[in-house]
Structure 1
Amino acid sequence: MIGNLVPINGARMSPWIRAIAFAGLFAGAAQAATTPDDTFRAIYTKEWAWRNGQAGILTSGEAQPGDGRLDTVDAANQARRLAYWNDVLAQLDGIDTKHLSAKARVDYAVYRAQIGNLAASQRFEQWQMPFNSDSAFWSDIGYVLHGDDLRTREDYRHYVDRLHQIPAYMDQEIANMRLGLARGFTVPRAVLDGRDVSIAAVAALKNPEDSALYKPFKTMPNNLPASDADALRKEAREAIADGVIPAYGRLLTFFRNEYLPKARTTLAAESLPDGKAYYRQQIREYTTLDLSPDEIHAIGLREVDRIHQAMLETMKETGFKGDFPAFLAFLRKDPQFYAKTPDELLMRTAWVAKQVDAKLGKYFGLLPRQRFAIEPVPADIAPYYTSGRGGADVYLVNTYDLPSRPLFNMPALTLHESMPGHALQLALSAEQRGLPGFRRDGYISAYGEGWALYSEYLGNEMGIYHTPYERFGYLTYQMWRACRLVVDTGIHHLGWTRQQAIDYLTRNTALSDREIANEVDRYISWPGQALSYELGYLKIRELRERAERQLGEKFDLRAFHDTVLALGSVPLPVLEQHVDAWIASRK
């Protein structure tokens, strides 16, 4: 306390001098307390707050928070982002990581890679190609606006303000795509047919209340005054009718009259401007590994051969008398393997999920509080959407074109997309205390998709695959991911055609024709992302086998799973270091 300060050098000080001296001591103490951890924390805290105020930022193909903003994606702002992240990288490179604490070193490894990927995306001007055959800015708007989270009058006011931003946002994205057209940086023409259906669905609306963006206003909180609710509904209807619908109309005209005719006729990422460097960067971002396309292609060929032998053995278990191509044709056509109604597919999926629920406690020590729903994929995107996609709160199942959704694949798909795959991993990450926002809300594909694919493998030990057909479904999903290594590098590095890729998947997997076509289009328009699954899975399997070999009877599968999930989404080299440290501690 100030009143009890000891006089310096035994001299008595006036209160004014004493206060100055104390302030100096206090400042010196604060300066002395600044550590490398503090410096690093200050950098990421400032950047994360800034990033949350930006619009349309993507990393690893996943939307970042962005505060729901939809009005700052123009070229000038994109240039400012590159300058900002380059400056952050320079600050990070000034930190001596040897002096960081163990926890901060993990944070640094995740964050340095994240900022490096964001800066690289700006450097290659990825923002000029703001969609692919799997997802698009115009269909992601509902997700970005967080319409399901509205609770208060302020929430609804904020949401209406964002609705007013959509026309300017659309116009900026059109301008960005024009820049991409001018330099040949576009989605390939070969995968664009039908991609305008979701734009046209909005552009053709006559009643704004039919828009999905109006849905939050159909069930507003009872404690909101009726006059306020009516006023907000009225403004939302006007914003959609006068702004949103015409903006989608302009986008549709641009897409059909300019983008389609001028989109590039090549497929390979390496054929883009500075394409070889661009594809290598995509590989680094999605795999977190420094592997060449040729190395990845070779790994894929090896895994395809290994899994094919297991598929042949499982085929024999079914009693089928024909050869492998005939068996695949049988699986694709026989009605016994397909649901007759969307509800049947959803219920069969839910039955798998409940079987998994009963087994989780045996394989995991820590389980999340979060529960997930099972819902059909929205109709406007279902024709070209993947068979299923899961998160912490919802598992979307595609009920469109039921003859393309074999039931024998549903156990593997459900393990991947719900528990113990994405739903478990993402929920545990969100519930972890003490993680910085950039880690809690970030997603690293090699880790997340590798874990989900490992979850399919775990279904064998959990007893989820009951018939040879379900085991074959598991193997065809394993084969599908191994084929991705071959197909992605084949298309983007070796010059494969779309038909070559389709034929390769048709020969090697029991996926339906629709699934194969949609998947190949996804790989063509989203270079590198498909590589993350198998490479992440192989690393987790490698780490488990290492732990089992080195620990012997001391190996605890539940503890191993908890260890893998403990860090949240991290690069594979960080995960490997973490598991190695765990193995050493168990010895």
Structure 2
Amino acid sequence: MRTFLAALLLMPAAVQAQGADAQLKAIYEAEWAWRGAEFGQVQDGLRSKPGPKFAGQTPADWDRRKVHWQGVLKALDAVPTEGLSREERLNKAVLSELIRADVANIGWRTYEAPLNSDSFFWGRVKPYSALDGVEDYRRYLGRLGDVGRFFDENIANMRAGMKRGYTVPRVSLTGRDKTIEPFVVSGAENPLMEPFARMPDSIPAEEQAKLRAEAQRLVDGVAAPAFARLLGFMRTEYMPAARTSIAASALPDGAAFYEDQIREYTTLDLTADEIHAIGLTEVARIDADMKATIAQTGFKGSFPEFLQFLRTDPQFYARSPRELLGHAAYAAKRMDGKLKDVFTTLPRFRFTIVPVPDAIAPIYTSGRGGLAACQFNTYDLKSRPLYNLTALVLHECAPGHSHQAAMALEAPDRPAFRRESYFSGYGEGWGLYTEWLGTKLGMYETPYEEFGRETFEMWRAVRLVIDTGMHSKGWSREQAIEYLASHTALARLDVENEVDRYISWPGQALAYKLGELRIRALRAEAEAALGSKFDQRPFHDALLNMGSVPLPVMESEMRAWIAAEKGKTSVQ
């Protein structure tokens, strides 16, 4: 790796005569190749997939990465931005911000707390999307054999974090140990064996049997014992020693750490006080919208009484997991028929709809969308109201996350790192924007569904208030739970899970509303500038075709698009 790093740092000088674009391309292509090797990824067409080993997690591994990325930043700074083409300027801005955050997190030693209430390093072992062929299975076997080393390195890092008071808050860890339990058993019942229960017909039966037998040997001899060690560590050491405070500001140099997390997840230079104020303004605005929608339902009673009605009336809840998934699939298919009104170009890659895995469902969010699948939580159906489901489908599936990921993957003339980059402000802002877009497309068929959309928008506005409240203003967990519960129709289980997520993941919750506000402001600018010539389809094409970018980059690019479109109309 040292030799490769030295070559990377010398590369801009070696190609300087070819111009700024060539210099930059040499840097990001070399960095992407280094990253793939460093983190054990293999390239499969347009996508990266996990390789046969987990990335090293030792402090020395992270220190080496920090040195490498500092060198990359130095090399990027040496490339004159004014000499770059428009697309390469985008590439430089994206890579610079990605690596800035990487370097900052290593500086904070965030690897010493490699989990939060929502996501855990042990959740990366079992693949939750299909394995495509024999090489995928062999790489999975390699990872099964590497689980012990991977877990032990993470445990060592967590012990180092414990010594300096850098842990996940104890309250947000409640029940998370239970997600480890299913994986400690030997035999075919271990969930790690599920990918071998039904293998592709392209793999001969004899080969399937060999792969299955090797998997069982590795699960019984390596992986299950590693999960058992991890479970013991979590229950006897980590959870009892985890900090009782909830604020990021309570961590070592916590105020500065929280500022940096705000920058990472929003890519904006906003203070916690500024974000808190934006949140209060949005909460007041959406509250008025919600009360107007209640009036449309004909309900006679107070706002709290209406929330209680929604949370308890059986008409709003599925009677079986299949019924809930059916409602989600119906909403997704209805949206499928409207995509032609939203975009001029559609991706080929398609997503499926699946339930959240049982092992994590009790502490998982209501839905999660990605390139290959859109997950919906069918655990505790009385906490999964159907009136929220249309908004959730739009956000997580299409035209939200699954669709956006496919567009980024298939966008033309895009370096590999751009296809897989993700900025929360852009991605989550787009997801929330698509919920609002559903109002323009006739997706909400009843006032209750519209109230469900509004409660989701309120949920994201409330996040601005309670995330900054807990991490910089001394709010308690109970205060945050009450604030979220009193302003939305979210079920109590969702409210508590969400607040615990914000406690353990400072700053991430701010991305949604701040990103959506900027996208809607850009649309308003486009509508004002173009008047009757405004067409939302090319606007959305331009927005998604740039891929995931920092919000300031998104704004400058879309304003350039607006100016170009205005120039076209003035010539006509």
TM bucket (normalised to shorter chain) is: over 0.9
Comparing 107-116 with 268-277, which one deviates more in the overlay? 268-277
Match of 1:206 among 183, 186, 190: 186
Match of 1:180 among 156, 161, 167: 161
Match of 1:196 among 177, 184, 200: 177
Question: Superposition pairs for residues 142-181 of structure 1, below 5 Å?
Answer: 142-143=126-127, 148-152=130-134, 154-181=135-162
2:444 aligned partner, one-letter code:
Y
Contact 2:16/2:23 (8 A) holds in 1: no
1:235 aligned partner, one-letter code:
E
RMSD, aligned CA: 1.7
2:406 corresponds to 1:427: yes
2:120 corresponds to 1:141: no
Contact 1:286/1:528 (8 A) holds in 2: yes
Task: Give the aligned partner of residue 296 of structure 2.
Answer: 317
Task: Give the aligned partner of residue 278 of structure 1.
Answer: 257
> Using the alignment, how far apart are the partners of 1:32 and 1:325 within structure 2?
66
Task: Give the aligned partner of residue 43 of structure 1.
Answer: 27
2:143 aligned partner, one-letter code:
R
Change in CA separation of 1:373 and 1:31 when aligned onto 2, cut-off 3 Å: closer
Match of 1:77 among 43, 61, 67: 61
2:161 aligned partner, one-letter code:
G
Distance apart, 1:86 and its partner CA: 1.1
Distance apart, 1:469 and its partner CA: 0.7
Change in CA separation of 1:65 and 1:223 when aligned onto 2, cut-off 3 Å: closer
Structure 1: stretches of 5+ with no match in the other structure? 1-29, 58-62
> Using the alignment, how far apart are the partners of 2:49 and 2:166 within structure 1?
26
Task: Give the aligned partner of residue 82 of structure 2.
Answer: 98
2:517 corresponds to 1:538: yes
Contact 1:129/1:187 (8 A) holds in 2: yes
Contact 1:70/1:169 (8 A) holds in 2: yes
Contact 2:40/2:50 (8 A) holds in 1: yes
Distance apart, 1:68 and its partner CA: 5.3
Contact 1:55/1:68 (8 A) holds in 2: no
Structure 2: stretches of 5+ with no match in the other structure? 1-13, 42-46, 567-572
Contact 1:53/1:66 (8 A) holds in 2: no
Task: Give the aligned partner of residue 19 of structure 1.
Answer: none
> Using the alignment, how far apart are the partners of 2:133 and 2:320 within structure 1?
35
Residue by residue over 1:248-286, the C-alpha shift from the partner in whole angstroms, topping out at 9 and shown as x without a partner, is 010011000110111111111111112111111111111
> Using the alignment, how far apart are the partners of 1:229 and 1:346 within structure 2?
31
Distance apart, 1:529 and its partner CA: 0.5
2:153 aligned partner, one-letter code:
Q
2:442 corresponds to 1:458: no
Distance apart, 1:45 and its partner CA: 1.3
- TM-score, normalised on structure 1? 0.91
2:103 aligned partner, one-letter code:
A
2:231 corresponds to 1:257: no
Distance apart, 1:510 and its partner CA: 0.5
> Using the alignment, how far apart are the partners of 2:333 and 2:104 within structure 1?
42
> Using the alignment, how far apart are the partners of 1:416 and 1:258 within structure 2?
38
> Using the alignment, how far apart are the partners of 1:563 and 1:168 within structure 2?
45
Change in CA separation of 1:289 and 1:115 when aligned onto 2, cut-off 3 Å: same
- TM-score, normalised on structure 2? 0.93
Give the 3-state SS of the residue equivalent to 1:530 in structure 2: helix
Distance apart, 1:239 and its partner CA: 0.7
Give the 3-state SS of the residue equivalent to 2:118 in structure 1: coil
Question: Superposition pairs for residues 356-435 of structure 1, below 5 Å?
Answer: 356-435=335-414
2:476 corresponds to 1:497: yes
Contact 1:268/1:492 (8 A) holds in 2: yes
Comparing 218-227 with 447-456, which one deviates more in the overlay? 218-227
Give the 3-state SS of the residue equivalent to 1:148 in structure 2: coil
Task: Give the aligned partner of residue 21 of structure 1.
Answer: none
Distance apart, 1:352 and its partner CA: 1.1
Task: Give the aligned partner of residue 553 of structure 2.
Answer: 574
Contact 1:147/1:216 (8 A) holds in 2: no
2:420 corresponds to 1:441: yes
> Using the alignment, how far apart are the partners of 2:444 and 2:561 within structure 1?
31
Question: Superposition pairs for residues 344-359 of structure 1, below 5 Å?
Answer: 344-359=323-338
Structure having the higher Rg: 1
Question: Superposition pairs for residues 511-522 of structure 1, below 5 Å?
Answer: 511-522=490-501
2:133 aligned partner, one-letter code:
R
2:318 corresponds to 1:334: no
